[in-house]
Amino acid sequence: MTLSHHGFFENYLQNILANDQTVLMYIRDRFKDHKFSSSRISQIFLIRLIHALREYLSGPMYWYHRAVWEVATDRYCQNAESNQDYYKTTVKTYQHEKFNKSNPFWMKELLYRATCANNIDDLKNNFLLNLKFTQMKERGSDIDQLIADYEFAIYNHNQDQTLRLVHQVLLIAYKIRQDPVQLPGQLFGQLHGYAMGAGLQN
């Protein structure tokens, strides 16, 4: 929750925790009297957890005050490798087909976490250079949000020329703003003639 961009809703919590083996092992050890399946977390534990956190939260599950966020960041989020593992776990959870991919909140969080996971190949192949996903993202939010996602990705992966090239196309292709359905055709037309890497060719 501390590492997220906008927090998340309670119904995501069980799936996120269930994808973390360290969490599952801790819960099983702490609550030995409760029976757990191999991949699920007791509803009793979730109710207790949410109840314990509620006074510190606002809206979606996120810290209600920056001071609380700063304390949580200092205590739990100082290991860069662990942070990236967390992002990879939540991306895997959010990619599950049961989540509503047209939900703007979901779409904002997913690309943020995929970028922070620091796996550039996964970020490009499954998200930013995946035409099906970018169309879904644009429909779920707008072209400005998609451009902002590219800018954040470029900030974190500033040596990637393919992301820079597509970002520039999105900035100048004004017809996409007028008619988002033209996204595939505009990208193809504007990129035609450029030397492309394998990811962009696909």
* pLDDT tens-digit series, residues 85-120: 888 888 887 776 555 556 667 777 888 889 999 999
At 11 the three-state DSSP class reads helix
Q: Which residue has the tokens 């979606």?
A: 60
Structure confidence at residue 173 as a pLDDT band (50, 70, 90): confident
User: For the chain, what are the domain ranges?
Assistant: 1-78, 80-202
- Retrieve residue 195's tokens: 């030397």
Q: Cα 188 to the chain's mean position, in Å?
A: 26
Phi-psi region of 179 (alpha: psi -120 to 50; beta: other; left: phi over 0): beta
- The residue among 131, 197, 125, 185 whose CA lies nearest residue 161 is 197
At 153 the three-state DSSP class reads helix
Across the chain, what does the average pLDDT equal?
79
Contact 20, 78 (CB under 8 A): no
- The residue among 170, 89, 93, 92 whose CA lies nearest residue 129 is 170
Total count of residues recorded for the chain:
202
Residue type, 137: K
Contact 169, 186 (CB under 8 A): yes
- Provide the 10 A C-beta neighbour count for residue 153: 25
Residue type, 140: G
Structure confidence at residue 186 as a pLDDT band (50, 70, 90): confident
Residue 139 has pLDDT above 70, yes or no: yes
pTM across the whole model: 0.74
